[in-house]
Amino acid sequence: MNLIKNSGVSMQQAREAIKLILNGNISDREIARRLNVSHMTVGTYRKQVSGRELTYDEVIQMSDDKLELVLKTKKGRKKQIYRSQPDYVYIHEELKKKSVTMQLLWEEYKEQNQDGYSRTQFCHLYRLWNKKLNYSMRQTHKAGDKMFVDYSGQLAKVTDPTTGEVKSAQIFVAVLGASSYTYAEASWDQSLSSWITSHVNAFSYFGGVTALIVPDNLKSGVNKPCRFEPEINRTYYEMASYYNSAIAPARVRKPKDKAKAEVGVQIVQRWILAALRNRIFFSLLELNNEILKLLEKLNKKEFKKLKGSRLSLFKIIDKPQLRPLPVVPYEYAEWKKVRVNNDYHVELNNHYYSVPCELIHSEVNVRYTNNVIEVFTGNNRVASHLRSIVSGEKTTLPNHMPKSHRQYLELTPSKILDWSKTKGAAVEDLINRIMNSKRHQEFKYRSCLGIMKLSKYYSDERIEKACKRALKIGGISYKSVKSILKKGLDLHEADIIESNSITEHSNIRGRSYYLNNVSIKKGEYLC
């Protein structure tokens, strides 16, 4: 039973009563009259301090907690003796380290203090002490476990040196959970690109990576907030995976989940933005350089209620437990969901990139950076290209094409001519005439490819005869050769008519007839 609380006596009254009792010359009723308390309460205090070797000076220097312990007892039990007090600051810092528990700390305390408190009382006293700290410090964060991130509501100003226009810059803040070590930087906006870049810079500043990242439900990071399974932005998730970390967004409208970030933002506003309020900056780089200088000063600033600073705690607690940085920093990439066109290409910024032809009409995910574009189906990468800025053009890999398209792509004039030489003199002559015609290169190739394809269905002998007949009748084309073969005209070589000979016949008027009838009047008809 707590005698002070239950008796309605303040701690100051209890302290004065004990000091008067220790004088030994004043009665309980006189003390009660002077302090305006019950004489029975004073009598109880006298019983509590009797037998204790307490002096007047000890009572003056004794804290309220210790004095309360002197006066605290329970009915039916022996009077509580004064015990060695735990080092609460030490306990608080040790709990931040991985695998350290209250049970372990209590056992260490008991080894040094045989008459010390029981485990239950030990934990209870620590909780009482912990309540007196700032709210942000009441949470227990494991070393290297969490990084809290958020944007400041207060903006910074940057002046365009050319136009004089004043632009607003967003302030990104990252705070480590155990040590409160803080990072901040300015960016033009809260876009996905700025969000990711600030995370990468924060990891670089800390020199390592935490196991968890705790953001607010900013659209750049969280597509759909959910208490149990939030939908994380694909790029944000990829960035965290690249650094061997995970993302655990704070619950919606639950500021306790990110109290570190809330306090960190407030401190950055007071100690950095307020200090720069009268400064004029002409570039984002200049602003960030000044922020870094003030960050060093902030992180070295001594705590008011704890020993050390953010920097000293960071070196002792967080730094040894941070996960190592990758050799190469994460390169910002965006994702886009697209459907494969009929020509087995996907479009990105009006440029077309090939994918395996089997994926025609399929929906795929495109990941693109400033230098590379990658295509995924699920988690499988099926295509990769160097990114191109040429509008309207195609980037195609031969192994993505169907076999027939690939063969056509590999077709060259020399290959066509080499093929024709193996089939016969007429075939070679016809192919040469087609290739030397004035038609567009594309149509020349198509005609030759058509003739080459006919060789799959007809023998070389028939192809040779068909080409010979086509040459004699002036049919320098794929259609002529195909028609000859289809109708079997190549099998009747004797029926070929020489193009420069005319058969004599009585019904043919001839050239002389027209020369003798040059002057024909208008309206008259030849008989």
pLDDT top residue among 63 and 294 = 294
Q: How far apart are the C-alpha atoms of 62 and 22, rounded to whole Å? A: 14
pLDDT value of position 136? 43
* pLDDT (average), residues 457-476: 88
Highest mean pLDDT among 10-24, 63-77, 238-252, 277-291: 277-291
DSSP-derived letter for residue 227 is S
Number of H helices, E strands in the chain: 22, 15
Instruction: Provide the β-strand partners of residue 336.
Output: 366
Q: How far apart are the C-alpha atoms of 309 and 312, rounded to whole Å? A: 5
- Is residue 330 pLDDT above 80, yes or no? yes
- Check the CA dihedral 120-124-125-130 and report its sign: positive
- Side-chain half-sphere exposure of 332, counting CA atoms within 13 A: 12
Q: How far apart are the C-alpha atoms of 335 and 246, rounded to whole Å? A: 19
DSSP secondary structure letters along 165-181: -EEEEEEEEEEETTT--
pLDDT top residue among 54 and 149 = 149
In which band, very low, low, confident or very high, does the pLDDT at 134 lie, cut at 50, 70 and 90? low
In which band, very low, low, confident or very high, does the pLDDT at 494 lie, cut at 50, 70 and 90? low
Q: Where in the chain is the domain with CATH 3.30.420.10?
A: 146-321
Instruction: Provide the β-strand partners of residue 384.
Output: 374
- Is residue 118 pLDDT above 50, yes or no? yes
> What contacts 375, CB < 8 A, 6 or more positions away?
346, 353, 355, 364, 365, 366, 367, 381, 382, 383, 384
Mean pLDDT of the chain: 82
What is the pTM assigned to this prediction?
0.53
Q: How far apart are the C-alpha atoms of 128 and 120, rounded to whole Å? A: 13
Tokens of 343: 């020509």
In which band, very low, low, confident or very high, does the pLDDT at 31 lie, cut at 50, 70 and 90? confident
* pLDDT (average), residues 413-431: 86
> What contacts 435, CB < 8 A, 6 or more positions away?
413, 416, 417, 444, 448
* pLDDT (average), residues 95-122: 87
pLDDT value of position 229? 56
The one-letter amino acid code at 462 reads R
Q: Among 237-246, 266-275, 518-527, which stretch is predicted with the lowest mean pLDDT?
A: 518-527
Q: Quick check: helix, strand or coil at residue 94?
A: helix
* pLDDT (average), residues 61-84: 62
Tokens of 264: 């960190």
Q: Among 33-47, 205-219, 487-501, which stretch is predicted with the lowest mean pLDDT?
A: 487-501
CATH fold group of domain 146-321: Nucleotidyltransferase; domain 5 (3.30.420)
Q: How far apart are the C-alpha atoms of 137 and 128, rounded to whole Å? A: 13
The residue count for the chain: 527
Q: Under a CB-based contact definition with an 8 Å cutoff, are residues 214 and 250 in contact?
A: yes
Q: Which of 136, 145, 135, 140 is nearest to 123 (CA)?
A: 140
Q: Under a CB-based contact definition with an 8 Å cutoff, are residues 95 and 87 in contact?
A: no
pLDDT value of position 326? 92
Q: How far apart are the C-alpha atoms of 22 and 54, rounded to whole Å? A: 8
- Is residue 150 pLDDT above 60, yes or no? yes
Q: 151-166: per-residue pLDDT in tens?
A: 998 999 999 988 989 9
Chain-centre distance for alpha carbon 315: 27
- Pure H helices in 113-191: 119-130, 135-138
pLDDT top residue among 385 and 508 = 385
The one-letter amino acid code at 23 reads N
- Is residue 526 pLDDT above 80, yes or no? no
The one-letter amino acid code at 275 reads A
pLDDT top residue among 61 and 189 = 189
pLDDT value of position 382? 93
pLDDT value of position 353? 94
DSSP-derived letter for residue 324 is P
- Check the CA dihedral 447-451-454-455 and report its sign: negative
Tokens of 74: 């329970």
Instruction: Provide the β-strand partners of residue 323.
Output: 209
pLDDT value of position 338? 92
- Is residue 207 pLDDT above 70, yes or no? yes
